[in-house]
Amino acid sequence: MVADLGSLVGCESPSSDLTAVARGADVVAELGCRLTGAAPERLILDGCTHLRWSFGEGDRVLLLGHQDTVWPIGSLADHPWRVQDGVAYGPGCFDMKAGLVQLFHALASLSSLDGVTVLITGDEELGAPTSRRLIEEESRRVAAALVLEGSADGGALKTSRNGIAQYELRVHGRAAHAGLEPWNGVNASVELAHQILALTALDGGSAGGATVTPTVVAGGTTMNTVPAEASVRVDVRVPTGAEARRVDTAIHALAPRLPGARLEVMSGPSHPPLEAAASAELYRLAEELAAAHGMPPLGGAHVGGASDGNIAAGVGTPTLDGLGAVGGGAHAPGEHVRVAEMPLRAALLADLVVRLQKERSVQR
């Protein structure tokens, strides 16, 4: 497993480099073919390469992962692959190439792969712009989705995740000479200031509520001109669908304060929240199987970031995330994986797949 992880980490695959993602897909395809005996379908969508394995009849379980990373080409020079004192280091090892190694080794241990679909995407770190529809389609076909993202702190499973929504609020005013006749203008920057305060008032104000964060602000053209245009981008994180709807409704209902100003709301990429109810039964099953292996309780955690698991849960499919590597430091120097945990997590995944192959249904 460590050798396989070294091969994956050694093939740098930043999301923004489609050629590199295609090379990374080749390495993952070789790994999957060697361990399962089957070659994947290569699905190239808008130039981005995704891999899919479909085994047998009667879709039961989707194993979901990605092989793209946030690390640019050349990162290995500064953060080389190495294993030291039982810990593996290297760009993308935790997020989430070790999870892919565990996935295929788990499948290699099974006597039957009937009803299993594996989907490995190449654009998760960008928010799944090309793979979103593919993930939704595959998730609708199965009884459960298991996501091989790295675990939460201490190896906990990710039983819920915030949803993400992105907006841009554009203000249209009217230009005028700032010295000669500013009263003939409608200052878009002043209007934007009012709207930024209104946006921050939508924040849930606690760890359990939505966060509404104005980020990138732009406005005006020259020093002596009343700004005719201004804008702000807004990052929204929501723990529940109800919070997502509340914030979305409120943003679209914003009204201008200055006479003559006009507002325009542009909705950007979004991920639905992975709510605890979507993972509850799968989490219970995982804890039961972990105990049978003599493992301590896994624990469940709510995390702020989104993954492809949000998309799977968003179509109503029971989804459990964080089944991948135990480690930490995702997206940062020192990203690492605890090697001794890899076969244990692979065995847990294998048991989950076997149980889901046998289960008639998982409560939605």
Whether domain 163-271 has CATH 3.30.70.360: yes
Nearest one of 40, 44, 42, 49 to 117, comparing CA atoms: 40
Q: What is d(CA 129, CA 336) in angstroms, rounded to the nearest whole number?
A: 27
Residue 148: pLDDT band with limits 50, 70, 90: very high
The single-letter DSSP state of residue 352 is H
CATH architecture of 2-161+274-358: 3-Layer(aba) Sandwich (3.40)
Mark whether 68 is an active-site residue: yes
Give the whole-angstrom CA distance, residue 202 versus residue 204. 6
Q: Looking at 81-211, list the stretches that DSSP marks H as alpha helix, in order from N- to C-terminal side.
A: 98-108, 132-141, 188-200
Question: Could you tell me the pLDDT band of residue 332, with boundaries at 50, 70 and 90?
Answer: very high
Q: Which residues pair with 327 in a beta bridge?
A: 337
Average pLDDT of the segment spanning 130-159? 97
Task: Report whether pLDDT(309) > 80.
Answer: yes
Amino acid at 145: A
Question: Which of 4, 12, 68, 351 is the catalytic position?
Answer: 68
Tell me, what's the pLDDT at 360? Answer: 52
What are the phi and psi torsion angles at 88 (to 5°)?
Answer: -95, 135
- Residues for the chain: how many in total? 364
Q: Could you tell me the pLDDT band of residue 338, with boundaries at 50, 70 and 90?
A: very high
The residue ranges of DSSP E strands in 173-304, in sequence order, are: 211-219, 229-238, 262-271, 300-303
Q: What is the pLDDT of residues 10-22, one digit of tens each?
A: 999 999 999 999 9
Q: Which of 235, 113, 104 is nearest to 169 (CA)?
A: 235
pLDDT tens track for 274-304: 999 999 999 999 999 999 989 999 999 999 8
Say if residue 96 is preceded by a cis peptide, omega within 30 of 0. yes
Q: Quickly state the pLDDT bin for 358 (edges 50, 70, 90).
A: confident
Task: Return the domain boundaries, the chain.
Answer: 2-161+274-358, 163-271
What pLDDT is attached to residue 204?
83
**Closest among 42, 39, 50, 43 to 13, alpha carbons compared:** 50
Band (pLDDT 50/70/90 cuts) for residue 125 is very high
pTM above 0.75, yes or no: yes
Count of alpha carbons within 13 angstroms of residue 108, beta-carbon side:
16
Which of these is catalytic: 124, 125, 308, 351? 124
**For residue 117, is pLDDT > 60?**
yes
Residue 359 has pLDDT above 90, yes or no: no
Task: Answer yes or no: are the C-beta atoms of 52 and 67 closer than 8 Å.
Answer: no
